[in-house]
Amino acid sequence: MCYDRYVSICKPLHYGTLLGSRACAHMAAAAWASAFLNALLHTANTFSLPLCHGNRLGQFFCEIPHILKLSCSHSKLRELGLTVLSASLYISSFVFIVFSYGQIFRAVLRIPSEQGRHKAFSTCLPHLAVLSLFFSTGFVTYLKPHSISSPSLDLSLSVLYSVVPPALNPLIYSLRNQELKAAVWTLITGRFLKH
């Protein structure tokens, strides 16, 4: 999505050649293959971990940090290596997104008309809002200090990370629809109670 926004705003005359069906299929296949390989490596490693502290998790989601708490200390090094590999994939994606949006905002700010800038921002901001929500909850979930870890906090962060961004994604993208925007505004302001 970020590359789509980048090409449509920064290189609009080359949109058809840079984002043809073949390029979209290659990007989708690369994303799915890397996600599948990442999940496969973590799943295989998780099933091979010897559990020394029982097999009961106090969580709804089987997140890797909670499974590592149950495993023996010598087996944590493999998962640490996989986590570093996953982190490098996530960080490279994050850097690509930040670079692309930097280029997008630079191009948008050079648009001479106010209406053109508004239209370009309204195209990009929903995607940026979903990405910000996803990355911020993910960073907090996985990078928070262990000293503030509690089962209820971990569960809430896991739900925020895995449920809220996909649930809000269609809503945020559909807010460009004027009728839906008016209905949401009516709901927020409480005018529906007066009728």
Residue 58 is predicted with a pLDDT of 62
Q: In which domain, by residue range, is 59 found?
A: 2-124
| Cβ pair 162, 63 in contact under 8 A | no
**Residue with structure tokens 């648009």?**
111
The torsion of the CA quartet 131, 137, 138, 140, rounded to 10 degrees, works out to 140
- Provide the residue-wise pLDDT of the chain in tens; the chain has 195 residues: 567 777 777 777 777 777 777 887 888 888 889 889 888 887 887 777 777 766 666 665 666 666 777 777 666 677 677 778 877 887 888 888 888 888 888 888 888 888 878 877 777 777 777 788 877 877 777 777 777 777 777 777 777 777 877 787 777 666 666 666 677 677 777 655 555
Closest Cα partner for 143 from 91, 194, 78?
Answer: 91
Whole-number Å distance between alpha carbons of 79 and 81: 5
Whole-number Å distance between alpha carbons of 167 and 179: 20
Structural tokens at position 108: 């948008």
The total number of structural domains in the chain stands at: 1
Residue 160 located in a structural domain = no
Structural tokens at position 82: 């996989």
Residue 13 located in a structural domain = yes
Whole-number Å distance between alpha carbons of 13 and 162: 37
Residue 168 located in a structural domain = no
Residue 6 located in a structural domain = yes
Residue 78 is predicted with a pLDDT of 72
Residue 42 located in a structural domain = yes
Q: What is the DSSP string of 161-184?
A: HHTHHHHHHHHHHHTTSHHHHHHH
